[in-house]
Chains A and B, each alone.
Chain A
Amino acid sequence: MTTTEIRPAVPAPAGGVQRLTFAKAITAGLRRAMADDPSVMIMGEDVGRLGGVFRVTDGLHAEFGSTRVVDTPLAESGIVGTAIGLALRGYRPVVEIQFDGFVFPAFDQITTQLAKMHYRSRGQLTVPVVIRIPYAGGIGAVEHHSESPEVLFAHTAGLRVVSPSSPAEAYTMIRAAIASPDPVLFFEPKVRYWDKGEVDLGPSGTAHGAGADLSILDTARVVRAGTDLTLVAYGPTVATALGAAESAAASGTSIEVVDLRALSPLDLPTVAASVRKTRRCVVVHEAPVLYGAGAEVAARVTEECFYHLEAPVLRVGGFHMPYPVAKVEHDYLPSLDRVLDAVDRAMGF
């Protein structure tokens, strides 16, 4: 890096309500955060001139230059490890891991170093690193490109683990993740990257506080109200759950859908309030059911809502196997029909 590098003038981010794809909503959130805070930087493989393999960082290199949008060597542990060092020096790196299955070379740096730095320094050090991971399946990809490893990180204290389910949520949540003083694992459901939705970009211009409201990283939300059963989902399966609720409504079953948004922390009060009302609960995720987020939700809902439950908490998710080949992935993934099957079983108790 030379000190004479010409840094492009940063244009003011656009404002107003726009119809954006999920991917472009994240791009807009990154752009806003970078414009608001000069310590925010992007790091990863192919995130610069290419704009990332999913183009989520498209245009940021041209806008902010190569000291703030860094094409790194092809080494995930090195990316996260140097991001930790940059954070210790006062920067806010937003790291892209190209695909879910590529995060494991960085597993030690994330779980042993990043997660524990604040704790072991008794609060003297903060490491505000965001790790963006395009995850989950449904795009017909090859091996290691469709996995759902989120619970491995949610099980590690010191990390926040979140996953947005819509363009509007993605825009707000990425800004909150960057503003958070804690490390955040930001799981992006890649099958939703091309879904469009309205996103409120706020006023145009800069310096109005990047994602100042961090509560979105802590709270679940009810995305559809219902009275007979609660479907709990996050990330890619929220749309599946909403589809199932729509179908069930046609046959007279009223389903409430809760989007967890965060796996760490888990917003149990929102889930429990819903289940006390509906008395039935089904959890849906792509990750394998065994030891998955559904197990945690089921255990806690059972403990909190035992006398309200009309049926055991059921889970719909991946099978206990490596992610299968693309030609059969739709038989592996929790489909609308499999969710409705679980709904029927819960209603039949």
Chain B
Amino acid sequence: MTDSPLGPLSEDGLVRLLTPAGERIASPAYDEHAASLTPQTLRGMYRDMVLARRFDVEATALQRQGELALFAQALGQEAAQIGSAYALAPQDHVFPSYREHGVALVRGVDLVDVLRLFRGVEHGGWDPVAHGFHLYTLVVGAHPLHATGYAMGVQRDGLVGTGDASRDTAVLTYFGDGSTSQGDVNEAMVFAAVNQAPLVLFCQNNQWAISEPTTSQAIAPIANRAPGFGIPSVRVDGNDVVAVYAVTAAALERARTGGGPTFVEALTYRMGAHTTSDDPSRYRTSEQEQHWRQRDPIDRLRAYLERLGELPEVFRAELAGEAEALGERLRTQVRAMGRPAADRMFEHVYATPHAVVETEREWFEAYEASFEGSGR
């Protein structure tokens, strides 16, 4: 046994560019990337974090009102999501898990569409190609393999290391601390490493896999595993949007220029429940929740912008209005989603006609039609 090994939640060695009070800390390795964030971009990040938070609150309320079957909050993970998403280029492709609503927002997905899945009217909800943002994957840890294969395709397309920043392409996949115990995530690292795929494996360690703490998944920092696969890794303060941006930008740049995959672990905290079906009071203390509330990622960026004198009152007022409007639009449009026609369930089972599906559809339509005057 070595002396006092680092646990999986250790904050030693985390890349941090903003203190919880919003003071900028110098970091020679990442200052250059952080410097590209203009006040205007920082305000854009702040806006998106506030809107993502509003989305969370509104969607949770809609679930409580019976308008959604379920909702998975991203509360507290806004810096990890918005910071990493801002580092993406338009041609990059994202493979999210099921909680990356902030990334969806940055990739231009209408957040109303994200709620189609939770309303129960779609399994997907948006155009994954148009947004470079794949559909959510609910089976934990299954999609990093898809991201790896997609990145192998990007290599075959000759879009890595061309020297043309507008063409070089990377793939970013999000997963949580729990999913790193899945074989598929580890296989993704094997395939990404041996192919030197243009991939960033982005682990949001939010400290909870439903009720199980990260200590049920690991006894050492999760990012320490990646070098064993030959993949460099970095741990970043996931509630520091500037640090997350800088670390992810460096990793994506490395991927696009042919440097291979990088594993990023963003240490953050799931401030809400796993989903609206969960009850965190059964397995964690309010003291811990209070501790992390005091390290709210939105408060940290606000404090930084205030120190810079770059958060004018007119911007705040406009943002408050925008958040209100988003809430109103979510409420109205979710309630208007209605119920898809039942026979739509037979569509797209296959890309080409399949006799069994066609026969069953015909039977179903005849059965429905047999209820004379039922209006079905």
Hey, what's the 0/1 contact readout for A69-80 against B, CB within 8 Å counting as 1?
A: 000110101101
Q: Does A119 contact B (CB under 8 A)?
A: yes
B145 touches A91 (CB 8 A): no
B356 touches A108 (CB 8 A): no
In the bound complex, how far is the Cα of B128 from the Cα of A105, in angstroms?
27
B115 to chain A, nearest CB (A): 16
Of the candidate stretches B77-85, B152-160, B265-273, B274-282, the one touching chain A is B152-160
Name the B residues within 8 Å of A113 (CB-CB). 137, 139, 142-143, 146
- Within 8 Å by CB of A1, from B155, B351, B355, lies B155
Q: Does B1 contact A (CB under 8 A)?
A: no
Q: Report the contact-size class of chain A (Cβ under 8 Å from the partner).
A: 35 or more
Q: Does B110 contact A (CB under 8 A)?
A: no
Knowing A118-B348, A118-B351, A119-B123, the reply to whether A108 touches B196 (Cβ < 8 A) is no
B161 touches A264 (CB 8 A): no
Closest to B122 in A: A122
CB-CB contacts below 8 Å: B323-366 with A: 347-352, 354-357
In the bound complex, how far is the Cα of B156 from the Cα of A119, in angstroms?
27
B119 to chain A, nearest CB (A): 15
Q: Does A15 contact B (CB under 8 A)?
A: no
In the bound complex, how far is the Cα of B190 from the Cα of A91, in angstroms?
21
Q: Does A81 contact B (CB under 8 A)?
A: yes
Name the A residues within 8 Å of B352 (CB-CB). 180-182, 214
Name the A residues within 8 Å of B158 (CB-CB). 3
Q: Does B203 contact A (CB under 8 A)?
A: no
B356 touches A264 (CB 8 A): yes
Knowing A73-B194, A85-B149, A264-B356, the reply to whether A123 touches B142 (Cβ < 8 A) is no
Closest to A93 in B: B149
A126 touches B149 (CB 8 A): no
Name the A residues within 8 Å of B347 (CB-CB). 122-123
A254 to chain B, nearest CB (A): 28
B350 touches A182 (CB 8 A): yes
In the bound complex, how far is the Cα of B138 from the Cα of A113, in angstroms?
10
Name the A residues within 8 Å of B145 (CB-CB). 77-78, 80-82, 84-85, 109
In the bound complex, how far is the Cα of B134 from the Cα of A121, in angstroms?
9
Q: Does A83 contact B (CB under 8 A)?
A: yes
Name the A residues within 8 Å of B149 (CB-CB). 81-89
Name the A residues within 8 Å of B191 (CB-CB). 72-73, 75, 78, 82
A118 touches B350 (CB 8 A): yes
- Within 8 Å by CB of B187, from A81, A218, A268, lies A81
Hey, what's the 0/1 contact readout for A94-117 against B, CB within 8 Å counting as 1?
A: 000000000001001100110010
Hey, what's the 0/1 contact readout for B175-202 against A, CB within 8 Å counting as 1?
A: 0000000011001101100111000000
In the bound complex, how far is the Cα of B347 from the Cα of A123, in angstroms?
8
Knowing A157-B357, A180-B352, A265-B354, the reply to whether A86 touches B153 (Cβ < 8 A) is yes
What are the 9 tightest A-B residue pairs by CB atom distance, in nearest-first order?
A: A85-B149, A81-B145, A89-B153, A82-B149, A78-B187, A120-B123, A85-B150, A181-B351, A265-B355
Seen from chain A, the residues whose Cβ lies within 8 Å of a Cβ on chain B are 1, 3, 67, 72-73, 75, 77-78, 80-91, 105, 108-109, 112-113, 116, 118-126, 157-158, 160, 180-182, 214, 218, 264-268
A141 to chain B, nearest CB (A): 26
Name the B residues within 8 Å of A265 (CB-CB). 354-357
CB-CB contacts below 8 Å: B126-153 with A: 127-129, 134-135, 137, 139, 142-143, 145-153
B156 touches A82 (CB 8 A): no
A89 touches B150 (CB 8 A): yes
In the bound complex, how far is the Cα of B147 from the Cα of A268, in angstroms?
39
Name the A residues within 8 Å of B129 (CB-CB). 124-125
Q: Does B124 contact A (CB under 8 A)?
A: yes
Q: Number of B residues whose C-beta is below 8 Å from A?
A: 47
Name the B residues within 8 Å of A214 (CB-CB). 352
CB-CB contacts below 8 Å: B228-257 with A: none
In the bound complex, how far is the Cα of B160 from the Cα of A99, in angstroms?
35
B137 to chain A, nearest CB (A): 8
- Within 8 Å by CB of A121, from B124, B146, B147, B155, lies B124
A81 touches B142 (CB 8 A): yes
In the bound complex, how far is the Cα of B186 from the Cα of A105, in angstroms?
13
A77 touches B350 (CB 8 A): no
Name the B residues within 8 Å of A157 (CB-CB). 349, 357
A85 touches B147 (CB 8 A): yes
In the bound complex, how far is the Cα of B191 from the Cα of A253, in angstroms?
57
A94 to chain B, nearest CB (A): 14
A338 to chain B, nearest CB (A): 29
Q: List 23 A-B contacts (CB under 8 A).
A: A1-B195, A75-B187, A75-B190, A77-B183, A78-B148, A78-B187, A78-B191, A81-B145, A81-B148, A82-B191, A85-B147, A86-B149, A109-B145, A113-B139, A113-B142, A118-B350, A119-B348, A121-B135, A122-B347, A122-B348, A124-B124, A124-B128, A181-B351
Knowing A122-B348, A158-B350, the reply to whether A82 touches B184 (Cβ < 8 A) is no
B152 touches A85 (CB 8 A): yes
Knowing A84-B146, A108-B142, the reply to whether A120 touches B156 (Cβ < 8 A) is no
Name the B residues within 8 Å of A108 (CB-CB). 139, 142, 184
Closest to A114 in B: B146
In the bound complex, how far is the Cα of B148 from the Cα of A87, in angstroms?
12
B156 touches A67 (CB 8 A): yes
Name the B residues within 8 Å of A3 (CB-CB). 158, 160-161
A81 touches B161 (CB 8 A): no
In the bound complex, how far is the Cα of B199 from the Cα of A156, in angstroms?
31
B351 touches A126 (CB 8 A): yes
